Amino acid sequence: MPHFARLYNFACWLTQDRAAAEDLVQETFVKALKGFSSYRQGTNFRAWMYRILRNTFLTTQAGLRATVSFDSDDDGPSEPATAETPESFLLARVEQQAVVSALEELPVNHREIIILCDLEEMSYQEIAQTLAIPMGTVMSRLSRARKAMRALLTAGTGGTAR
């Protein structure tokens, strides 16, 4: 199943719930298979799949579900390959947790654009196709999302709002 792991990762960030993410990805593949005749040969397949996933999320969840934090340690990033000292490892882990917390606090439209650009490494063109918005909107939304991220990270206590 092409792009399954990356779609699941995106779904986890959108839903902030593993079970809901699994259901969302499953529904995405069902819809993609049913609607494969609407896929235009030569267009970006990855963007098409992400768009189906996003539209399914917005339809089923109305995009308004309150955020739920990921408190489990096994969901977090793995240890760095070369930890110099226990202190540097701890500082890196605290920084990662702050970024994850700040990302979870962002509204869905900001969270999804940061994830698609910075984690999924999609081009602006692919993001525009996925979200069905003009490329200029991608750039301005990404700028606003990153500004909001910076504000949350500099707000003080690990990126959480006061």
Boundaries of every domain in the chain: 4-61, 81-154
d(CA 16, CA 39): 29
Does the structure show a pLDDT above 70 at 71?
no
Q: Domain 81-154 carries which CATH code?
A: 1.10.10.10
- Give pLDDT tens digits for 6-53: 899 888 888 888 999 999 999 998 998 888 888 888 888 888 888 899
Domain 4-61 has CATH 3.30.70.100: no
Q: What average pLDDT does this structure show over 58-79?
A: 50
Q: What confidence tier does 88 reach under pLDDT thresholds 50, 70, 90?
A: low
